[in-house]
Structure 1
Amino acid sequence: MPHTEIEGHRLSLSNLDKVLYPATGFTKGEAIHFYASIAGTLLPHLDGRPLSFLRFPDGVEGQRFFTKHVPRGTPDWVTVHEITVASKTPMHQVFLQDEASLVWAANLAALELHTPQWRVDRQGMADRLVFDLDPGEGADILDCRTVASWLRDRSAEDGVTLLPKTSGSKGLHLLAPIERRDALDVSAYAKQLAREAEDALPDLAVSKMSKDLRSGKVFVDWSQNNAAKTTAAPYTLRAKERPTVSTPVTWDELDAADSADDLVFVTADLPPRLKSYGDLLAPLLTGPGSKGGSVRARLPKAQ
């Protein structure tokens, strides 16, 4: 079994040739290499946030394992904290705070990394606002773009700057850095804007969760602001046919896209994008509780 040493920690790497994405032949070794190569950009977005993993030890077509508790055999140098919010009883979760921990998780075939909108030092107090735009049958990411543009302009009226990224699946995520607020307040604000989007774009946007309302429309999922919910992290792999990545994009890129395929990014696309654009979601990392000091938006109370 091959080994590697990262930051003074010795890791055993297993089954590096195992194909995790059969349609493309993408292997576990390639997944590990991808995460190691973008660690410097990804890790700040995971800093202080408990991880929920989606593991695929037999590949994306095999059984998946949702892992929220600390996996058996976790090395003692991996950061673990007790989580008391959004759970009836305290639990312990993993925090990926360094490259060694990230590679350790990738070696478990933890392809998807999901985090809440709050950090462990202030559990349940969100420092990010998120909208998950999910297209129903007959709609696509270009329809999400129309709804996203409306939400961008509406939120700007409240001094909130939304930043887009692809979900890595079918839709878009919109995130904004905010002053820390109770997740219940943030969720209420997001729900209000989702309802306003539905009123403004009745043929395209829907704010209700019922799936039978989504055909040909875009569900504006405001619920991921709930303290118990998580969202796919920036730059995480997604378990789709190809090794797609949840990728930050510019509003100009969204506007210029002629087809849904123009907004699909795989692992090979990320290094040149990072070289050209840097981290487009860097504004999420500034303000209280993180490095930097720019002002975060103060959300108004929901009406």
Structure 2
Amino acid sequence: MSPITHVEGRRLSLTNLEKIVYPATGTTKGEVVHYYATTAATLLPHLHDRPVSFLRYPDGPDGQMFFTKNVPPGTPAWVTTSEVPSSTAESRRQVLVQDMPSLVWAVNLVVELHTPQWTTASPRVADRLVLDLDPGAPATIVDCCAAALWLRDRLRADGLRAFAKTSGSKGLHLLARIEPTPSAEVTAYAKSVAVEAEHAHPDRIVHRMTKALRPGKVFIDYSQNAAAKTTAAPYTLRARPLPTASSPVTWQEVADCADPGELDFLFTDTTARLARDGDLLAPLLDEDLAAPLPGARG
């Protein structure tokens, strides 16, 4: 029988808590659930009102994975959902992870959490800009850091304050709070910055996804600003061989990075980092810090 727990008045059935999800570290599903429960106060504001997509990996990173945007079968009635416009004629419903019970229910499914750059209040109107820096081997996150510093200064020249986090995989994400702007305009601006970065550093940076162009370079994926695209949420665990978390980092850490392992954070590192730095991405939650996107209508 699955253990029953009560979370903020909601009755939850948690399954297979002793199951090893990450064989390389012996990390159990129970430890994964505990991580999210203890990180919830910091994580939840970054999910609030954003339709969540799930990358499910119930048998660990070596098992079957499947990405879903639709509300999973068996979702409790008390979990908030929202109708989300689709690129097709039909809309769909997606989960909103608004509180601790919803978060614990979701991570019991063993998921990565992904969100768009807009909220349900204004679908397809972004309040964040994101640049996903993905290294093509033999390039590493060290090369991403060099690109990130250039991009930080370039965005700053346009009045945008960028923040960095590890993807939890191989690269970095840069994010900036912006005034509400149609996603298509944000994508166009992000592309222009990526193209400029490639022109400035053609030997190190590429803005096109073509795989043949990417070995040894940092691919700046600007397309995650598109309304239909999503990005791994801050603090989410990733379906990687090790239980890495998408972790906010300081610009000093970015500047000092000389070895990929320096920015490879496991979920067990999060508590100490939050105690030391707090939420480095908290400014992304402050509407008063939203900057206008150059050339955008807002």
TM-score for both structures, normalised by structure 1? 0.96
* Counterpart Cα distance in 2 of 1:86 and 1:256: 42
Counterpart of 2:110 in structure 1 is 109
User: Are 1:60 and 2:54 matched, yes or no?
Assistant: no
- What SS class does the counterpart of residue 120 from structure 1 fall into? coil
* Counterpart Cα distance in 1 of 2:264 and 2:87: 33
- Equivalent pair of 2:4/2:11 in contact (CA under 8 Å): yes
Counterpart of 2:246 in structure 1 is 246
Matches within 5 A, 1:147-296: 147-287=147-287, 294-296=288-290
User: Are 1:97 and 2:103 matched, yes or no?
Assistant: no
* Counterpart Cα distance in 1 of 2:266 and 2:89: 38
Counterpart of 1:291 in structure 2 is none
* Counterpart Cα distance in 1 of 2:235 and 2:125: 23
- What SS class does the counterpart of residue 181 from structure 1 fall into? strand
* Counterpart Cα distance in 1 of 2:115 and 2:190: 18
- Residue 180 of structure 1 deviates from its aligned partner by 0.4
Identity across matched positions, percent: 58
* Counterpart Cα distance in 2 of 1:85 and 1:54: 19
- Residue 132 of structure 1 deviates from its aligned partner by 0.1
Q: Encode CA deviations 1:137-162: one digit per residue, 9 max, x unaligned.
A: 11000100111111111111100011
* Counterpart Cα distance in 1 of 2:86 and 2:125: 10
* Counterpart Cα distance in 1 of 2:110 and 2:174: 27
Moved over 4 A (4+): none
- Residue 209 of structure 1 deviates from its aligned partner by 1.2
The amino acid that maps onto 2:229 is K
Structure 2: gaps spanning 5 or more residues:
none
* Counterpart Cα distance in 1 of 2:248 and 2:101: 24
* Counterpart Cα distance in 1 of 2:88 and 2:291: 28
Counterpart of 1:301 in structure 2 is 295
* Counterpart Cα distance in 2 of 1:69 and 1:87: 14
- Equivalent pair of 1:129/1:225 in contact (CA under 8 Å): yes
* Counterpart Cα distance in 1 of 2:125 and 2:274: 30
Counterpart of 2:43 in structure 1 is 42
The amino acid that maps onto 1:198 is E
Structure 1: gaps spanning 5 or more residues:
288-293
- Residue 67 of structure 1 deviates from its aligned partner by 1.6
The amino acid that maps onto 2:90 is T
- Residue 257 of structure 1 deviates from its aligned partner by 2.0
* Counterpart Cα distance in 2 of 1:147 and 1:93: 34
The amino acid that maps onto 1:194 is A
Matched positions, count: 295
Q: Encode CA deviations 1:219-272: one digit per residue, 9 max, x unaligned.
A: 000000000000000000001111000000000011122210000101110001
Matches within 5 A, 1:5-44: 5-44=6-45
- Equivalent pair of 2:283/2:289 in contact (CA under 8 Å): no
* Counterpart Cα distance in 1 of 2:91 and 2:169: 32
The amino acid that maps onto 2:291 is A
Q: Encode CA deviations 1:161-209: one digit per residue, 9 max, x unaligned.
A: 1100000000000000000000000000000000000000110000011
Counterpart of 1:88 in structure 2 is 89
Counterpart of 1:143 in structure 2 is 143
* Counterpart Cα distance in 2 of 1:88 and 1:188: 24
